[in-house]
């Protein structure tokens, strides 16, 4: 209509990608169940981008993705097996504030201990680091200094240049930033390139001082800022699929181009439930 109205030259629209998308949607025969663990789960729209990214990846793999909405605050006092036991994957998205944090840490730990695919986003990566520090690195009481200023192990902390900032308006790490991926990791396999640009919205980072100890305990740093200073992606090599990013991959997912981390997370869930390749011929990255 716009082309016609403006008198611009244009031929028939190429709808082949959308036709293929609809064809895949109509032929979905499988379903996987993901626990989305957050503190705003009563308002599903708070996680709309995450939900859509899961849908995109489910369609890619010929599967419906059923979301189990898990209140992280309630999870602190509930039996994890009862709540998460029927799930093929656990996803902890971004968020702010202390409420429900221990439930998110517990969810990340449950996924790690039970070999269930885990995707952490922003705060979801940070709680994963906290859990790894406590359980694998021997850092009892490890936490983010955002939530416990007295912790002896602030594995998530403000960068030195952030500590003296008093005016909080627009002083976070915001917008698209380059991420360098470590060859041979699941993150690198997912993207298939050495560097990607991803969107950020955060202030706290993996501690520069404690990063080495975390890596010695088994945490793989698979993505960093180009200078190698800031941790952008972590994963566990001895786990079927445990990947978490400081950036927000959900913001760049599209129906015909599912975001690679989400795509491979859903692939891992399909393997978890059905024990078979998720997307033969679709070119998905390694899922374990």
Q: Which of 56, 61, 102, 122 is catalytic?
A: 122
Q: How confident is the model over 253-265, as a mean pLDDT?
A: 97
Residue for token pair 């240049």:
161
**pLDDT given at position 286:** 39
- What is residue 47's DSSP assignment? G
**Cα(243)–Cα(205) distance, integer angstroms:** 16
Active site residue 250: yes
Whole-prediction pTM: 0.90
The confidence score (pLDDT) of residue 171 equals 65
Phi, psi of 132 (to 5 degrees): -60, -40
Q: How confident is the model at residue 251 (pLDDT cuts 50, 70, 90)?
A: very high
Confidence (pLDDT) at 26 = 93
Catalytic residue among 102, 205, 250, 259: 250
Of the listed ranges 97-101, 113-117, 139-143, 201-205, the one predicted with least confidence: 201-205
Q: Which of 202, 205, 248, 259 is catalytic?
A: 248
Q: What is the pLDDT of residue 282?
A: 45
Q: How far apart are CA 261 and CA 252, in angstroms?
A: 11
* 248 catalytic residue (yes or no): yes
Q: Which residues are 35's β-sheet partners?
A: 68, 90
The residue to which tokens 């009563």 are assigned: 42
Helices (H), 87-230: 101-114, 123-135, 186-191, 211-216
Torsional sign, CA 206, 210, 212, 216: negative
Residue 44 appears among annotated catalytic residues? no
What the block records as the tokens of 65 is 């993705």
Residue whose entry in the numeric block shows the structure tokens 């990255």:
285
**Length of the chain, please?**
288
Rounded average pLDDT over 132-141: 97
- Element housing 17 (H / E): helix 16-26
Q: Which two tokens stand for residue 85?
A: 């036991």
Using alpha carbons, select from 165, 61, 121 the residue that is nearest to residue 107: 121
> Are 262 and 253 spatial neighbours (Cβ–Cβ below 8 Å)?
yes
DSSP 3-state percent helix, strand, coil across the chain (nearest 5) = 35, 25, 40
């Amino acid at each position: 209509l716009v082309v016609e109205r403006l008198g611009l030259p244009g031929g028939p629209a190429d709808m082949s990608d959308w036709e293929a998308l609809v064809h895949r949607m109509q032929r979905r025969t499988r379903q996987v169940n993901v626990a989305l663990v957050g503190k705003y789960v009563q308002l599903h729209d708070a996680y709309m981008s995450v939900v859509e990214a899961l849908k995109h990846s489910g369609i890619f793999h010929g599967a419906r993705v059923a979301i189990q909405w898990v209140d992280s605050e309630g999870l602190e006092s509930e039996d994890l097996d009862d709540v998460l036991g029927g799930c093929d994957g656990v996803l902890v998205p971004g968020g702010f504030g202390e409420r429900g944090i221990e439930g998110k840490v517990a969810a990340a730990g449950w996924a790690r201990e039970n070999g269930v695919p885990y995707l952490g986003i922003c705060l979801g990566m940070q709680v994963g680091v906290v859990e790894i520090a406590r359980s694998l690195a021997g850092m009892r009481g490890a936490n983010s200094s955002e939530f416990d200023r007295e912790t002896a192990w602030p594995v998530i902390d403000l960068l030195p240049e952030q500590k003296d900032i008093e005016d909080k308006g627009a002083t976070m790490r915001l917008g698209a930033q380059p991420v360098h991926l470590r060859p041979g990791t699941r993150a690198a396999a997912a993207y298939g390139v050495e560097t990607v640009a991803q969107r950020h919205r955060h202030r706290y980072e993996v501690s520069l001082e404690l990063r080495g100890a975390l890596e010695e305990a088994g945490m793989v740093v698979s993505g960093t800022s180009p200078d190698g200073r800031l941790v952008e992606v972590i994963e566990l090599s001895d786990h079927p699929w445990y990947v978490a990013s400081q950036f927000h991959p959900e913001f760049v997912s599209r129906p015909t181009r599912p975001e690679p981390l989400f795509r491979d997370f859903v692939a891992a869930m399909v393997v978890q439930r059905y024990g078979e390749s998720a997307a033969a011929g679709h070119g998905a990255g390694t899922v374990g």
